[in-house]
């Protein structure tokens, strides 16, 4: 017999009671839900994201976003080695290294520990990264070429003739030793022919731009001018002692080799290489490389040409080496020369470098 089938009841899910969220202050339900979602996802809103501080002010007190590229790469390498999360950003004035706030103390400690363990006994002058300092040098070299062009043609209205400039400003060894010291500076601005001034402008511009990157444009030009003046004086003294008091010379090349000597002196006496600093330390071999480079420069560029004054080149290099060594020693104690007195010293040095040949010519014309 077939049993009578029971009627099938339709399935229905039991309804759960709807819970009304507790909202303080009468906030709408959607607002509370969004707030809850934002707390669950901290990165959903920029305002809720924890800040990543720049660690440069925490390490050495430097302003944020001003790290040189080389230092930023070094710090990033240290933090990567110690597995500290961080990010490097390029800023208008330099670079910034940012870490999560909870890793800031660890990042600072790791960088300070690295610098403590890797302090070099031979500190060097830091180089500015990516700073363009060629414009002042290019402008001065153009002025040097313009001065040559003006002094090579007669100007009767003002009584200016090429032979007058030559007679007053040439580096005459006998005249300089008799008291006409202005010739040591004025001779730097005179040249024999266009090829002479063009070569000095090009080669000198290269060395002075390199020197300006290290010391600032004003300091670089003052050191080069002083090296050229001292080189001409030493050259005149050497020729007088050799029995050739009537030696004559002109050209900016003495200052060019002086700039090369300053670069060598900065490298040798600022503690780079194997040169030991301190009273108890013995001198090493750090001075050999820059001195050898300077002598090689004299051998390749300073002996070419029939009328080349080798003595002026050598003494300019020697004078520059001494001035560069003294500047390097001061830089180790006072910092980079272009930062002395907040940069005002560099400006003053540049003005003094421009005044030296101007005052020398004024002295020469008044005395003549």
Closest CA to 266 of 224, 228, 236: 224
Looking only at the bridges linking them, the beta strands covering 248-249 and 171-172 are antiparallel
Residue 302 has pLDDT above 60, yes or no: no
Quote the tokens at residue 218: 């004003």
Closest CA to 54 of 70, 73, 67, 68: 67
Cα–Cα distances in Å, from 324 out to 19, 217, 267, 269, 349? Answer: 83, 14, 8, 8, 15
Residue 250 has a pLDDT of 92
Closest CA to 184 of 194, 192, 176, 193: 176
Residue 30 has pLDDT above 70, yes or no: no
- Contact call for residues 174 and 246 (beta carbons, < 8 A): yes
Helix H or strand E encompassing 262: helix 253-269
- Structural domains of the chain ordered from first start: 56-115 (3.30.70.1530), 135-367 (1.20.1540.10)
- pLDDT cut 70: percent of the chain above it: 73
Q: Can you tell me whether residue 98 is helix, strand or coil?
A: strand
Q: Could you read off the pLDDT of 57-111 as tens digits, one per residue?
A: 888 888 888 888 888 899 999 999 989 999 999 988 889 999 998 899 999 999 9
Whole-angstrom distance, CA of residue 140 vs CA of residue 160: 22
Whole-angstrom distance, CA of residue 140 vs CA of residue 188: 13
Q: Could you read off the pLDDT of 179-211 as tens digits, one per residue?
A: 999 999 999 999 988 998 998 999 899 899 989
Helix H or strand E encompassing 24: none
Residue 32 has pLDDT above 50, yes or no: no
Q: Hey, what long-range contacts does 338-345 have (CB within 8 A, 24 or more apart)?
A: 338/128, 338/215, 338/216, 338/217, 338/218, 338/219, 343/216, 345/218, 345/219
- Contact call for residues 227 and 142 (beta carbons, < 8 A): no
The angle, 0 to 180 degrees and rounded to 10, between the axes of the packed helices 217-241 and 135-151 is: 50
Residue 19 is classified by DSSP as P
Q: Could you read off the pLDDT of 330-348 as tens digits, one per residue?
A: 888 888 888 888 889 999 9
Largest CA distance in the chain: 150
The HSE-up count of residue 15 (CA atoms within 13 Å, CB side) is 3
- Contact call for residues 286 and 266 (beta carbons, < 8 A): no
Residue 362 has pLDDT above 90, yes or no: yes
Residue 126 has a pLDDT of 52
Residue 24 has a pLDDT of 39
- Is the torsion defined by CA of 92, 97, 101, 105 positive or negative? negative
Q: For 353-362, b where at least 16 C-beta lie within 10 A, e where not — what string?
A: bbebbeebbe
Residue 33 has pLDDT above 60, yes or no: no
Whole-angstrom distance, CA of residue 193 vs CA of residue 339: 39
β partners of residue 54? 98
Cα–Cα distances in Å, from 262 out to 138, 225, 338? Answer: 19, 11, 15
């Amino acid at each position: 017999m077939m049993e009578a089938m029971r009627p099938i009841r339709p399935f229905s899910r039991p309804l759960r009671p709807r819970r009304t969220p507790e909202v303080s202050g009468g906030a709408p339900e959607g607002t509370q839900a969004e707030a809850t979602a934002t707390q669950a996802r901290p990165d959903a809103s920029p305002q809720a994201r924890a800040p990543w501080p720049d660690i440069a002010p925490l390490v050495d007190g430097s302003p944020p976003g001003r790290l040189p590229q080389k230092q930023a790469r070094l710090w990033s390498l240290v933090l990567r080695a110690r597995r500290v999360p961080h990010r490097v950003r390029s800023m208008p004035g330099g670079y910034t290294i940012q870490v999560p706030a909870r890793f800031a103390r660890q990042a600072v400690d790791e960088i300070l520990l690295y610098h403590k363990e890797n302090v070099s006994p031979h500190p060097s002058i830091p180089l500015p990264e990516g700073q363009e300092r060629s414009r002042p040098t290019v402008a001065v070299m153009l002025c040097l070429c313009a001065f040559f062009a003006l002094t090579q043609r007669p100007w009767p209205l003002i009584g200016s003739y090429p032979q007058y400039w030559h007679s007053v400003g040439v580096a005459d060894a006998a005249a300089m030793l008799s008291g006409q010291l202005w010739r040591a500076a004025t001779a730097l601005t005179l040249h024999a022919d266009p090829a002479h001034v063009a070569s000095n402008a090009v080669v000198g511009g290269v060395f002075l731009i390199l020197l300006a990157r290290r010391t600032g444009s004003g300091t670089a030009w003052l050191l080069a001018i002083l090296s050229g003046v001292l080189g001409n004086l030493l050259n005149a003294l050497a020729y007088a002692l050799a029995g050739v008091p009537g030696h004559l010379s002109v050209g900016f090349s003495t200052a060019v080799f002086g700039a090369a000597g300053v670069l060598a002196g900065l490298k040798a006496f600022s503690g780079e290489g194997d040169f030991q600093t301190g009273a108890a330390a013995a001198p090493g071999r750090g001075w050999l490389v820059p001195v050898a480079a300077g002598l090689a420069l004299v051998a390749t560029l300073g002996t070419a040409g029939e009328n080349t004054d080798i003595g002026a080149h050598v003494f300019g290099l020697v004078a520059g080496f001494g001035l560069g060594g003294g500047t390097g020693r001061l830089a180790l104690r006072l910092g980079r020369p272009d930062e002395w007195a907040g940069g005002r010293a560099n400006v003053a040095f540049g003005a003094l470098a421009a005044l030296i040949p101007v005052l020398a010519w004024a002295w020469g014309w008044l005395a003549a």
